[in-house]
Structure 1
Amino acid sequence: MEPYRLFNRELKTVGEPEITVEAVPPLAVPYYSQPDDYSCGAACLKMMLEYNGIKTSLADLMSHLNVIEDDGPMGGLQEEDIVALADRLGARASGKGDASINDIILELKAGRSVMIGYLVREEDGQVNGHFVVAVGSTEHDLIVHDPWGEPNSPVPLDYLDKNWKAESSKVDRWMMTMSPTKKEP
C-alpha cells in the first residue's frame, strides 16, 4: 500500500508501528473531493450521508454549514454543526469526543463509516485541521477517504494517535457516526 500523502506531504511514523488493530475491509462509501480549502467537513458529510441513503449536493451542505474561512485557530467548522445538519437531513448522527482508535474500529466492524477531525502538521510548521472519513483499517493504518487527497488512503495509526486533536473547538479525539434514518419519537 502506498504511503498516505496529505497536502503533498507523506505521512509516516518513525520506527516500528506501536499501535495495531484488527483489519477491517473498506466499506463501500462513495467518495467526493472538496472544491476549496474549507469544505473538507461538508465533503465528508456528503460521503457519509450518501452511504446512508440520503442524497444531497455539496453546495446545499455548504450553504447550511457555518464555515469560517480563516486559516487561524477558529477557521473551518464546528463539529456540533456537522452533527446537527446530519440530523436535520434525516440521518441519526452521533458525535463523540475523547474517542479511541478502538471506538473507530468497532464502528467500522458494525458497517458504519466514521468522520474524524485531526491536525495536519506541515513541514513549514503550519498546523491545519482536516476532516476525513474512516472506511476501513489494516493492522497499522486507518483507511480513509480524504476529500483533499484520494479515496482509500492509509493514515498510520501512530500518526493519527498523536494528531487526533481539534483545531477550532475544544473537543479532541472527535468522531461522528450515523445511521440511515432517525428514530421516530
Structure 2
Amino acid sequence: MGNATSTVHSVPYYAQWASGHLVKDIVTGRIQAKEDPAWADYGATSPEEYEWWSWRLCGVACLRMALEHFGRTAPAPMALAAECTAAGAYEKQEDGLRGLIYAPFASWVEARFGLAAQARPNLPVAEIPDVLARGQLAMLSVHPSIRQPKDEPPHTGGHLVLAVGATEQELVVHNPSGYPGISQEYAQVPWDRLGSFYAGRGIILGVA
C-alpha cells in the first residue's frame, strides 16, 4: 500500500489453543486438540470440552491480546466464551457455534472492559493503516489459510486475526491459529495478497 503509515504495536500474543507451540500439530491433525497437555489452563472442565471450544475461539484469543495491550486483565478463554454467549455474541447450535456476532460482541466489550469497540461490517483495507496509526487494533475476518499467504483460499472470512501493525509493504497480524515460528506473532501479509483472504469486515478496538 503505497502511502501506508508504518506502525507496529507491541502486543502480547495468545494462540487459540492453550499450547501455542502445538498449533501446527493440531491444525494439521497430527494430534487432537484434546491431547494438548495444557488444556486445563483454558478453563475447560474436560479435554473434550476444551477441544470443542478451542477450534472456535479465535475471536476470544484476539480479544485477550487486545485486553492485555490496553492494560486490562485477560480472563481465561472459557470464561470469556461463557460471557460472550450470555451477551449474544455466540449462539450454540446443534451443529456448532454461530459467531462471533460483531454487534453484541462490541457492546459487551465496551460494557465489560471499558474499551471502545466498533463493529464494522464494512472495513476497507485502505482504512486499516489509519486505524493502527491512531493507536487502535483491529480484529479482521480472514480465511484461516492466511497463515500461509502464498496459498489461494477457497473463500474469504471464517477466522479472526488481530491486526497489530502496518507498513508500506504489508499488514502485520497476530494470528491465533498461525504456525509457531512462522505465522503466529507479527506475521506479515503483503497488501496485494490480503484481499484473497479478507472478508472486508472486522471490529476496531481501542481506549475509550
User: What TM-score does the superposition give when structure 2 sets the normalisation length?
Assistant: 0.64
d(CA) in 2 for partners of 1:104 and 1:92? 16
Bigger Rg, structure 1 or 2: 2
The residue aligned with 1:156 is: 190
Tell me if the contact between 1:21 and 1:102 (Cα under 8 Å) persists in the aligned partners.
no
More helix, by proportion: 2
1:82 CA displacement: 2.3
The residue aligned with 2:35 is: none
Alignment map for 1:1-185 (pairs within 5 Å):
19-35=1-17, 36-57=54-75, 58-66=77-85, 67=90, 75-89=98-112, 90-120=114-144, 129-149=158-178, 150-165=184-199, 173-181=200-208
Q: Which runs of 5+ in 1 are unaligned?
A: 1-18, 166-172
1:91 CA displacement: 1.2
* % identity of equivalent residues: 26
Q: Which runs of 5+ in 2 are unaligned?
A: 18-53, 146-150, 179-183
Tell me if the contact between 2:157 and 2:198 (Cα under 8 Å) persists in the aligned partners.
no
Distance 1:119 1:73, change over 3 A: farther
Distance 1:124 1:143, change over 3 A: closer
User: What TM-score does the superposition give when structure 1 sets the normalisation length?
Assistant: 0.71
d(CA) in 1 for partners of 2:117 and 2:167? 25
Q: CA RMSD in A?
A: 2.8
